[in-house]
Structure 1
Amino acid sequence: MIAIINTGCANINSVRFAFERLGVTPEIISNPEQLKGFDRAILPGVGHANVAMKRLVDQGWKEAIAQYEKPLMGICLGMQLLCDYSEEGQINGLGMINGPVTQLRTGDLTSPHMGWNTIQIVGQHPLTRNIDLNDQVYFVHSFAHAVNETTLAQCIYGQPFSAIVAKDNYAGMQFHPEKSAKVGAKLLNNFMQWQV
């Protein structure tokens, strides 16, 4: 039983279809009270951190996510919202993943960081099982989590940044596994098998 949290800040259908391709039918939930009835959950997100965080707070998701003790994974903006702080909108996040989210310093490269890029595994974890050295995933973002002790995989685009993070029962993927073909499917399957 997997829930996809609907805060109105994401295109949740692409995430749902990705799980359905793995033979899993997730349920889209819009009420925080429903969360405790599921074995694991996804927090997707696109758009501006300030708007998304306000919705999480106003709709009661902040408390529900903080009290959740099973695997919960944020995708893209959803991952950033799980962190301590975001420079985008100068907001405090949910505080489940240590470290700040800051503007990606891309140098001469185009911003936002958009397209396929290689991830490098830096920490062994059930989420990174069977991920190879040259595996690529699909990114769309201009803010990123600094590499720290919660980082399981990093990517370099102008600077190193966290591609996959995890702490306790919370995890995040900065890229879009649902748009990352076979590698993304492998990562989502790892999440389905992750026990905490």
Structure 2
Amino acid sequence: MVIEKVCHPPDEVSTFTTTDSLLSDNWTGPHLDKIWLCRLKIICNPSLRPIPATSSISFKGTVLSLFIRCTTLGLILCFCATQGFAGEVDNPEATVSTPLLQTDHSWDGAAYKSYPAGQPQLTVLRIVVPAHTALPWHTHPMPNAAYVLSGSLHVESKDGLHKKSLHAGEVLSEMVGTVHRGWTEESPVELIVFYAGVKGMPTAAHVDQ
């Protein structure tokens, strides 16, 4: 597309393509004060008849429109950022806490579907697994998360498709309904595990090999 700038007097004529900036050198120079007397005529194809002068676009109006749009977008972005910041300020724990885990899936990538139905009951266990020990194959009926206080823990699914190692200070979002186990090597591991279940529901179920 070609845009032709038609000015008065008629001998001041220049053209530029739409890839040129509206603020390029085509719009600056010693005749800057005459730009406002010009009109823009859009020619989609030189072989076609130009758009009538009654459809001319004011350069000043175009720049003003761009300025308004950019200003509006900036205000919207500032508002969104402010709202997000305000949400953090409203949380009294935000300035004194560090997120360790926030997820909607277990460590193997499986999404958590729902919490068990019934009266909610939270359980927190301190688990110590001795060195050179493998836990029995088992499953969990509810979402839970383990925090490693000390040592290292290795976990794997029974089908052999998923394995992971954890060390002190790391958090594990446990599997739900999938058979797995954990084991240690040279040193014991100490864990704090949080379970979100219901009354009367065991935190784990043994699975026969």
Task: Give the TM interval when normalised to the shorter protein.
Answer: under 0.3
**TM-score normalised to structure 2 length:** 0.20
Structure index of larger Rg: 2
**TM-score normalised to structure 1 length:** 0.21
Structure whose residues are more often helix by fraction = 1
